[in-house]
Copies of this chain bind each other. A is one copy, B any other.
Amino acid sequence: MPRLLNHTVSVEPTAEAAACTAVACRNCGLYQLGRLPGREEADPTLLQRIACSRRQLRKGEYLYRLDEPVRAVYAIRYGSLKSYVLSGDGRLQITGFHIVGEPLGLNDLATGRHTSEAQILEPTSLCEVPLDHLEKLSVEVPSIRSQMLIILSREVQHYQELMLMLGKKNAEERLATFLLGLSSRFEQHGFSPLRFNLSMSRGDIGTYLGIAEETTCRLFSRLQEEGLIRAHRRSVEIRDLDRLRQLALR
């Protein structure tokens, strides 16, 4: 397995994922699009037809930028990225971090132009499905549109949680919620929920949580002092899941 990833990497691709030669597979966020009504498993043939091409991107590159026409939807094979919206005077609010196995890019279908930007956080491999291809396919296979609705509706739920965070939680509760969220997403994709590496900086985390970078740092320290976590730079270990949950789930 080529060592693509440096220490800042959130998760190394598992042997399984690295060995997977399919453009879209179980690990990939578009898997769901391949589901037929009433079936849990995706239809492999359909999946083959959906998946088009891979794309490899380096840290700092943009997947898409503001006002660009929406050309495709994506799924993350490995790696991670952040997406964010911008205010008139350039302040930015990160609206989500996307990690391995998650779909991306359905947000801006209404306008046909991106209202947000997506930037790569670490070496990342994506599966890319051009919109016109998806369009054609979904005429023939209507279930694809249903699945798109479901994915988008999940996105909405994520945003609702984030709004609750930004509007109602204090800084400590926000960080706890953030860490638990990551934890369970890693678990969903077969990684350890208690030990993981962050691919984003303290500044990014702050920009996501609506707090300052310095505050984020202080909170990492505080949670560590209180024994809830152990953290050094990008590596995080959750030591007291229960108390962390207590903090977050308020």
A110–B150 touching, CB < 8 Å? yes
Which residue of B has the minimal Cβ distance to A248?
Answer: B88
State whether A168 and B106 are in contact (beta carbons under 8 Å apart), knowing that A145-B146, A156-B156 are contacts in the complex.
no
- Asked if A142 is at the interface of the complex by the 8 Å CB criterion, the answer is yes
Contact mask for chain A residues 77-120; partner B; CB cutoff 8 A; 1 contact, 0 none:
00000000111110111010000000000111111000110000
- Report the minimal beta-carbon distance from A238 to chain B, rounded to whole angstroms: 19
State whether A149 and B157 are in contact (beta carbons under 8 Å apart), knowing that A85-B163, A93-B164, A163-B85 are contacts in the complex.
no
Instruction: Pick the contact of A139: B88, B93, B142, B250 (CB < 8 A).
Output: B142
A108–B250 touching, CB < 8 Å? no
CA distance A150 to B108 in the complex (A): 9
A163–B110 touching, CB < 8 Å? no
- Report the minimal beta-carbon distance from A154 to chain B, rounded to whole angstroms: 5
Which residue of B has the minimal Cβ distance to A173?
Answer: B87
State whether A153 and B153 are in contact (beta carbons under 8 Å apart), knowing that A160-B116, A164-B85, A168-B91 are contacts in the complex.
no
Q: Most B CB atoms within 10 A — which of A91, A107, A164?
A: A164
State whether A93 and B145 are in contact (beta carbons under 8 Å apart), knowing that A168-B87, A169-B87, A210-B168 are contacts in the complex.
no
- Asked if A167 is at the interface of the complex by the 8 Å CB criterion, the answer is yes
Identical subunits present:
2
B168–A107 touching, CB < 8 Å? no
Q: Which residues of B have CB within 8 Å of A88?
A: 249-250
Q: Which residues of B have CB within 8 Å of A161?
A: 85
Q: Which residues of B have CB within 8 Å of A236?
A: none
A153–B107 touching, CB < 8 Å? yes
Contact mask for chain A residues 113-155; partner B; CB cutoff 8 A; 1 contact, 0 none:
0011000000000000000000000110010011011111111
| A–B complex contacts, Cβ < 8 Å, 26 sampled | A85-B163, A85-B164, A87-B250, A91-B168, A91-B169, A93-B164, A93-B167, A93-B168, A107-B153, A107-B156, A107-B160, A109-B149, A110-B149, A110-B150, A110-B153, A110-B156, A111-B157, A115-B160, A145-B145, A145-B149, A152-B153, A159-B159, A159-B160, A163-B163, A166-B167, A168-B210
**Could you list 16 further interchain pairs (A-B, Cβ under 8 angstroms) beyond the known A88-B250, A115-B160, A163-B163?**
A85-B160, A87-B164, A89-B250, A91-B169, A92-B168, A93-B168, A95-B163, A107-B157, A110-B149, A110-B150, A142-B145, A145-B145, A148-B149, A152-B152, A156-B156, A156-B159
Which 6 A-B residue pairs are closest in the complex by CB-CB distance? A167-B210, A166-B166, A110-B153, A88-B249, A159-B159, A145-B145
